[in-house]
Amino acid sequence: MKTVKEILSWVIPIAIGLIIALLLRAFVVTVARVDGPSMEPNLVNNERMIVWRQAPIKHLSVIVFDAYGEDPSAKTKGTDYVKRVIGLPGDTVSSKNGDLYVNGKLVKQNFISKSERTSGTGNWDLKSLSSQWSEYNGVTKVPKGQYFVMGDHRSVSNDGRYWGFVSKKNIIGVVKVPFWETDKTQRNNVNNLAY
């Protein structure tokens, strides 16, 4: 009987710890990894980041979302993308010569270079982009419950310009880069720009 009590004395705390860890991962925080160059220079391929599930999504937040059902090229559930939120529900979004405008106001893009802003960005608004999307053809504003996202490295990013919006239900959370990853400027460009 003493042996069973001794075993339970260390099994129960381990089990409780595992349950707490699983609950935290499911509802509060998880870890993700960048796959590809679309968020360079601020996030690089294979970089690890923390994803806060309950953090508010704001303009310029960097988010992780399941692209399955959003991007037609994402063929399996759990294909996670990392992108920057440009437009919130109800926003108008447009681009002219690499400058982004949200609700008619110029968005400061100090987090990327001029060539990263202008290469591959083009001149467009949501209505002109939506003519190539299978859903939302002709929209002029980001629909309710949806977000418009782009990668920081615009010329290589497969993002909302090509397939449309990201549904809130597919968003896993907001990215925060831990202090041991990247340099201070890159961390600031991911962690502190949202407004």
Q: Which residues are catalytic?
A: 38, 83
* CA dist 165 → 70, 77, 147 (Å): 7, 17, 5
Q: How far apart are CA 91 and CA 147, in angstroms?
A: 9
Total length of the chain: 195
Per the DSSP assignment, residues forming a β-bridge with 49 are 32
Give 60-82 as a DSSP string: T-EEEEE-TTTSTT--STT-EEE
Bridging pattern class, strands 146-150 and 124-125 = unpaired
